Amino acid sequence: NTNISGTGLSSICKSTSLRELFLIGTPIVDEDLKSVSKMLQLQTLRLGETRIKGSGLKYLKPLQNLDELDLSKTDIRDEALLNLEGMKGLRTLRLDQTAITDRGLSYLAAVPTLQRLALNQTKATISGLKPLKHLEDITRLSISNPEPLTDDDVQTLKPFYYLETLSIHETSFTPEILESLAALPYMEFLSFVKPKKRIPTDQLREIEARHPNVKIWFVD
């Protein structure tokens, strides 16, 4: 219901046993999240395309069962992510199409439970993941990286030992870089969305043959 806001949201939030709350595209603002703070059983909260800017995220700290938070297509900035510190159950965070930068990524070091992180069409880059190297449980990562991938980028990803799914948007790379990514120990799915440059088909086939357990996809 795209008309949900204020009083309407307060009414919904009286159902404190709810485990999922989808508010995508509604006109709620940060102060409206004060009502959500009472939903202690909440596991999934989707706030994409709302008017949230980030200050209201502090009201979510009591939600220790919150597993998934979607903030995609909102006006949140880096400092908003400081409010996620102490959310011990948070495993999935979606920040697609926001203005988050590498500085904002550094604040996620205070959320050690993260396993799935979506950063498509943000200003964050693979280099900005370096402060998160202790987040060893990351299994899924999607990110934009306008600059060509480098050996340093591969080294940045290596601490995410259990990384299974990696999606990189709008980048380019050499066959050697692709080989290194495919060789990550638990890698299963590698996808490149709107790549700026592709490697020759014969070289791609050779890499796929050497890493038969890894699916490599290109999406234009």
Question: Helix crossing, 175-182 with 201-210: angle to 10°?
Answer: 20
For 41-61, what is each residue's pLDDT tens digit? 999 999 999 999 999 999 999
How far lies 87's CA from each of 23, 61, 125, 129, in Å?
20, 6, 24, 19
Helix (H) or strand (E) holding 152: helix 151-157
Asked whether the predicted pLDDT for residue 181 surpasses 90, the reply is yes
pLDDT for res 1: 37
Q: What does the pLDDT read at residue 3?
A: 45
Task: Identify the pLDDT of residue 8.
Answer: 61
Name the pLDDT band for 4 (thresholds 50, 70, 90). Answer: low
Q: What is the DSSP string of 65-98?
A: T--EEE-TTS---GGGGGGGTT-TT--EEE-TTS
Residue 171: pLDDT band (50, 70, 90) is very high
Fold matches, 1-118 and 125-220? yes
125-220 carries CATH number 3.80.10.10: yes
Correct CATH for 1-118 of 3.80.10.10, 3.60.21.10, 3.40.50.720, 3.30.1180.20: 3.80.10.10
Are 35 and 10 a contacting pair, CB within 8 Å? yes
Stated as kind and residue range, the H or E segment containing 217 is: strand 215-219
Contact assessment for residue 214 and residue 190, using Cβ atoms and an 8 Å cutoff: yes
Tell me the mean pLDDT in the region 101-119: 98
pLDDT in the model for residue 7: 53
Q: Which residue has the tokens 């909260």?
A: 45
Residue 15: per-residue pLDDT: 74
Mean of pLDDT values over 73-102:
97
Cα(36)–Cα(10) distance, rounded to whole angstroms? 8
Q: Is the pLDDT of residue 106 over 80?
A: yes
Residues 132-136, mean pLDDT to the nearest whole number: 94
Averaged confidence pLDDT in the chain: 93
The predicted model gives 70-93 an average pLDDT of: 97
Residue 197 CB neighbours (<10 A): 10
* Mean pLDDT on 9-14: 73
Domain map (residue ranges) of the chain: 1-118, 125-220
Residue 98 has pLDDT above 50, yes or no: yes
Q: How far apart are CA 67 and CA 93, in angstroms?
A: 9
